[in-house]
Structure 1
Amino acid sequence: METLFTVLLILHIAAGTISLIAGPVSMVNRKGGKQHRLTGKIFFYAMMLVSGTAVTMAALPNHHSPFLLIIGVFSAYLVISGYRVLNLKGLAKGRKPPLQDWGISLVMAAFAAYFVFAGFTGGSFDSSSIISIVFGSIALLLVAKDVRKYTKAPTDKNFWLYDHITRMIAGNIAAFTAFLVVNNTILPPVVAWLGPTVTGTAVISFFITKYKLKARKEKATGEVVAGKTGSN
């Protein structure tokens, strides 16, 4: 059993290192470009290996770890839903999502509810309880957003882009959080856990604002051109 744990740990560290490099590189590459797609796929598969090994290690006897379980499950949900949304552009036209997307969201909802419940009923309201509640609550909010777009057609045709940005950067946040928590020897635990979330949220806001302004500008330009054409 210890040999299995060691192998899983080596794979986990290797995949985590790759994700820490590929994630930021993908972010700065031109969205939709060849390099962005390549580094994005590398990041996706690396994070899937990170998540899979984390959950497996957390389930092994004598190695139970709420930290690994929370990060593993949440990371998997973020990158899978962030990748899947690229295939859900048709929701804005009234199309229905495949059952697998419902399944992904419902599984995350169950784990998120457990994280929140465990945080409030853990006996001592310490940093681990706060972390469990915060991550569980964030996951529930994202699942609620999933359900909303699955049941009601999004009014913004670029919803998929904003969701993709949010989920994939959140996956980066999870990777950096895990790195900090494991290697941190200076910062308070809560800062190590939530610091990347605060920083990453600002990055998400930056990119979403950037692309919303770009879309608004393109729409305004199109309306001006249409107006000039109609007046001729």
Structure 2
Amino acid sequence: MEVSFNMALGLHVISGFAALLVFVIPMVTRKGGTFHRRTGWLYVVSMASVSITALYMGIYRLTWDAGSNPDAIPFSWFLIFIAILSGATAWYGIRVLRFKKRKISHRQPIDFLFPSLMLISAIGVSAYGWIISFPLLQYFPIIGMFLGLSQLQYWLSVPKRKSHWVVEHIVGMLSCCIATVTAFTVFGAPRLLQIESVSLMLWFMPTMALVPLIIGYSTYYTRKLDGKRNVPD
């Protein structure tokens, strides 16, 4: 089992660095262009690998290493949650493009599965964080609660704006970026800097930096596609 864990860890590190290297490119290249799509897919594939390996490693730690290293349990739960968050947001960012022309509420069960899983896991992990007084688990899952509810609301509602799919694509992919960079600040940065831990403020810096980008991009494309008054279709 240790061999499989080390293989998963190696793939996780490689995929994570690949995601970190390319995640900015789709944000600054022409939307819908060939380079934007190719680098976007590279990011999605990298994050799919990151998500799957993170989920495996988190479960492995809880199943086989919990007894030998109890202090790793909270971070294992965070690893599992960040795997769900990154996977669900990347899936959402792709699926809204697939159904960008829809005129009715969405009824694909798989698209309700991921936000529901994200919402349930966020509530459970946050509750566990409050029980053990672990701030990272107490507060960070609030992002998952918000995203889970907003994704469910989007799929259930009838689109009223031309920009709906662009805005939701941006929200999905940049939320996935938050998961990417946050995971690096929690797990990767301490090892590279050879320190035991980092501050809670540093853990939340990716969120504080990328949320204004989400708002800015969403506002820009809403005005561009819907007009300055944002008149519904």
**TM-score band w.r.t. shorter chain:** 0.7 to 0.9
Q: Which runs of 5+ in 1 are unaligned?
A: 221-232
Q: How far apart, CA to CA, are the structure 2 residues paired with 1:210 and 1:151?
A: 25
Q: Which runs of 5+ in 2 are unaligned?
A: 67-72
Q: Choose from 89, 92, 98 the match for 1:81.
A: 92
Question: How many residues end up aligned between the 2 structures?
Answer: 214
CA apart distance, 1:75: 0.9
User: Would the aligned equivalents of 1:88 and 1:97 in 2 still touch at CA under 8 Å?
Assistant: no
CA apart distance, 1:166: 1.1
CA apart distance, 1:107: 1.7
> Match for residue 152 of structure 1?
157
Q: How far apart, CA to CA, are the structure 1 residues paired with 2:143 and 2:15?
A: 25
Q: Residue 56 in 1 paired to residue 67 in 2?
A: no
Return the letter of the residue paired with 2:44. Answer: F
Q: How far apart, CA to CA, are the structure 2 residues paired with 1:179 and 1:104?
A: 23
Q: How far apart, CA to CA, are the structure 2 residues paired with 1:73 and 1:139?
A: 9
Return the letter of the residue paired with 1:215. Answer: L
Q: How far apart, CA to CA, are the structure 2 residues paired with 1:24 and 1:11?
A: 21
Q: Which segments of structure 1 move beyond 4 Å, counting only runs of 4 or more?
A: 216-220
- Describe the superposition over 1:158-187 as per-residue Cα deviations: whole angstroms up to 9, x where unpaired: 111111111111111211112222213478
Q: Residue 68 in 1 paired to residue 71 in 2?
A: no
Q: Choose from 99, 107, 112 the match for 1:97.
A: 107
RMSD: 2.1
Q: How far apart, CA to CA, are the structure 2 residues paired with 1:219 and 1:109?
A: 33
Q: Secondary structure at the match of 2:140?
A: helix
CA apart distance, 1:218: 8.2
Q: Secondary structure at the match of 2:176?
A: helix
Q: How far apart, CA to CA, are the structure 1 residues paired with 2:54 and 2:157?
A: 35
Q: Residue 172 in 1 paired to residue 182 in 2?
A: no
User: Would the aligned equivalents of 1:181 and 1:189 in 2 still touch at CA under 8 Å?
Assistant: no
Q: How far apart, CA to CA, are the structure 1 residues paired with 2:160 and 2:94?
A: 21
Higher CA-based Rg: 1
